[in-house]
Amino acid sequence: MKRMLSAIKPTGQLTLGNYIGALKNFVSYQDDYEMICFIANLHCITVYQKPEELKKNLKDAVALYLAAGLEPDKTTIFLQTDVLEHAQLGYIMACNTYLGELNRMTQFKDKQAKGETGLTAGLYTYPCLMAADILLYDADYVPVGEDQKQHVELTRDVAIRFNHKYGDDSFVVPEPLVTKVGKRIMSLDDPSRKMSKSEHNDKGCIYLLDDPKLAAKKIKSAVTDSLGKINYDPINQPGITNLIEIESALTGEDIDSIVARNKDKGYGEFKTEVAEVVEKTLSDIQARYKEIIDSGKIDEILEEGAMKARKIASKKLKKIERKVGIEIKKRK
Ligand code: AQP
């Protein structure tokens, strides 16, 4: 069975974008792949987080993984810091990544271009840690939203170079898998920007733990256009296109069929239809989330997941340390 790995960094509450672009797909893949899915808490602190809030967001993220349908007997679920090998291999990967490569990473460049201050070295070198996260497990595939594709491509470049230098059996070179529908869910109040959890305007973002009625309201007040036609047209009608993508991703109905069915409807009526789908999705997820939080099983699931992950990760790290020559005595 091929291995697939992915992660989410809970720098805030998880969003509908995370669900559509990532979580929902992890769930559908878990039957066909050996799935490894972790909570990237080291990546979270590349940008300052209030410790108490972060702790809550991490726990909520695990509960939401499970509420979305990930099953611990099919998917290895753990916290990144419970497997120390991530940070160790991350350093080795940083020593095998060129500054020029990091300078080309658009996520960092965008923040710099926006004039954000206080950007950290951790944020800059984050793709090296991400490369380690993936290569540690010899993942064949990495399902990501469009924004993360570049980081997986960097991981491939680093792995190919490393294999060339130290031997082809070092790392499996992973492939990114980008979702077809919903690869980039946009902000509801500015459809030129991605829906992001760290977005400061709550109106543009639906959080998975939002009151479902509030989420429906956000859909109903989404920014659209003045053309008055339900079309799938990302360039000229990005707002309506975003709503079509959301509905299609959540219901599985084809984009063409949604457009055809709604072609004579006004925006208000169409938004009500999408709002109902979103409200139901959130209500279902939240009912399961509550059961999981009440069950008190999260610690146990994380411990079991970390044990399974450590077995793979420690073997790989030892092999890589031996290859780069930083080992003296063979570690057990
Ligand atoms: N809006 C989105 N549409 C589709 N996919 C998305 N993903 C995130 N937002 C969208 C996908 O979710 C996975 C986990 O992402 P992440 O949370 O680890 O990082 P991110 O992409 O940086 O997410 P945010 O919400 O934008 O975080 P902040 O605000 O902290 O920068 C990834 O596969 C991602 O593509």
Coil, helix or strand for 17?
helix
Residues contacting 95, CB < 8 A, separation 6+: none
Domain 202-291 fold is: Tyrosyl-Transfer RNA Synthetase (1.10.240)
Give the distance (Å) from ligand 1 centre to CA of residue 18: 5
Tell me whether residue 109 is one of the annotated catalytic residues: no
pLDDT (0 to 100) of residue 332: 64
Rounded to the nearest 5°, which phi and psi values hold at 175?
-110, 135
Report in angstroms the alpha-carbon separations of 320 from 84, 313, 329: 15, 11, 14
Residue closest to 45 by CA, chosen among 104, 129, 150, 131: 129
Q: Is the CB of 184 under 6 A from ligand 1?
A: yes
Query: Residue of the nearest CA to atom 10 in ligand 1?
Result: 17
Residue ranges in the chain modelled with pLDDT below 70 = 200, 330-332
Coil, helix or strand for 266?
coil
pLDDT (0 to 100) of residue 331: 63
Tell me whether residue 165 is one of the annotated catalytic residues: no
Q: Is the CB of 57 under 6 A from ligand 1?
A: no
Tell me whether residue 194 is one of the annotated catalytic residues: yes
Q: Is the CB of 46 under 6 A from ligand 1?
A: no
Top mutation candidate among 147, 153, 197, 278 for ligand 1, by most atoms within 8 Å of CB: 147
Report in angstroms the alpha-carbon separations of 23 from 112, 123, 220, 308: 29, 23, 24, 21
What is the residue type of 166?
Y
CA dist 282 and 179 (Å) reads 21
Q: Is the CB of 25 under 6 A from ligand 1?
A: no
Give the distance (Å) from ligand 1 centre to CA of residue 331: 38
Other Cβ atoms closer than 10 A to 145: 19
Question: For the residues of 144-169, what is the DSSP string, one character each?
Answer: E-GGGHHHHHHHHHHHHHHHHHH-TT
Q: In which residue are the tokens 């460049």 written?
A: 109
Q: What is the pLDDT of residues 86-98, one digit of tens each?
A: 999 999 999 999 9
b/e string for 18-33 if b means 16 or more Cβ within 10 A? bbbbbbbbbbebbeeb
Other Cβ atoms closer than 10 A to 115: 6
Q: Is the CB of residue 211 less than 8 Å from the CB of residue 246? A: no
pLDDT (0 to 100) of residue 35: 97
Q: Is the CB of 204 under 6 A from ligand 1?
A: no
Give the distance (Å) from ligand 1 centre to CA of residue 133: 16
Q: What are the structural domain ranges in the chain?
A: 3-178+297-324, 202-291
pLDDT (0 to 100) of residue 179: 76
pLDDT (0 to 100) of residue 197: 86
pLDDT (0 to 100) of residue 182: 77
Segments in 203-266 forming alpha helices (H): 212-220, 238-251, 255-262
CATH architecture assignment, domain 3-178+297-324:
3-Layer(aba) Sandwich (3.40)
